[in-house]
Each structure stands twice: as structure tokens, then as C-alpha cells.
Amino acid sequence: MSLKKLAIGVCFVALGAINQAWAVGGESLKVDTYGIKYCAGASPVIIDPTDNLINYWIYVDSATQITVYKDAARTQKLFSLPITLTPLANTVKGDRLQYAINGMFAVSGQYIVINGSVKLDKTGTTITSTSITYIRKGLSDTCSESGRFK
């Protein structure tokens, strides 16, 4: 399942279009991942949601933190990611709000960094689209990745 609408007072991670509603303390949702995965001793691999190489499930803890899991049941926690939302501007029609989203988590030489933007509806409670890039080293395996979340 990919993301399309996130009902929250926060946003996430994640790039492009969102297909589900997210709520703080609600269900975990799968993030579609696009990019390239690099592992020592192997050729780079293109990541696409259809190959199921990378599965991240996001749970919105609060307006300032999300937790990333390997499974929808939240039994395999990878890390919690503090996030910051910064208001950018209203769109031309004025019916959507736009925010920059940034987050970083690092431990023992492993890390993930996200940077992008989210658009909310005029109520400010539903995310209508995202554009988020990421860079990851370790945390879920010994490889590195760069790409975008949808």
C-alpha cells in the first residue's frame, strides 16, 4: 500500500503522491521507495516498490516524530526519526499550505536524512502530496541507499 493522503497535524516522510490517510497514533503505512541501493561487493541495485527490496512502514508518533518499522505490525522497529516542519507559503490558489520537512537520525556511523516538502489541504490537517528525498546508511541492513519516498 502506498501513501496518498495523510491525516495528521504533522507529516512525513516520504515523495510524490500519497494514497492513504495517516493519523497520529493511527495505523502504520507502507512507504513506496524509489532509488538506488549500494551494498559492498555488489553492483548497485535500482529500488522500485514493485520489487519489494525495501519495505518501510511509518507510524506517526507525534507532530515532531515518526517511527520507521520493517513491518506493518510494528514488531521490527528500525528507528525513530525526529522531524521538523517549517511553513513555506500558500499556493497560488491559497487552498493549500506548504511546509518544508526535515529529519535526521544517526547512531554509530549509521544514519538517515530526509529533506523535502509537504502540501496540506486548506484545513491544515490532511497531507495532499509530498516530495521527500532521503539518504540512508545502515539502520536496516549493512547497505546504503539514496532516493525518494512516495
Where residue 56 falls among pLDDT bands split at 50, 70, 90? Answer: confident
Average pLDDT in the 125-129 region?
71
Determine the Cα–Cα distance for residues 143 and 57; give it in Å rounded to an integer.
Answer: 18
Determine the pLDDT at residue 37: 92
pLDDT above 70 as % of the chain = 72
The whole-chain average pLDDT of the chain stands at 75
Measured between alpha carbons, how far is 58 from 69 in angstroms, rounded to an integer? 6
| Contact of 150 with 131, CB cutoff 8 Å | no
Query: How much is the average pLDDT of 106-134?
Result: 83
Q: What is the pLDDT of residue 95?
A: 59
pLDDT value of position 40? 93
Report pLDDT for 78. Answer: 86
Per-residue pLDDT band at 60 (split at 50, 70, 90): confident
Q: How far apart are the first and last CA of the chain?
A: 11
With bands split at pLDDT 50, 70 and 90, how would you rate the model's confidence at 20? very low
CA atoms of 68 and 78, how far apart (whole Å): 6
pLDDT tens column, 3-14: 333 323 233 333
| 31-36 mean pLDDT | 85
- Dig out the grid coordinates for 9 from the structure: 497535524
What is the tens place of the pLDDT at every residue in 65-99? 888 888 888 898 988 999 997 888 665 556 567 88
Contact 113, 100 (CB under 8 A): no
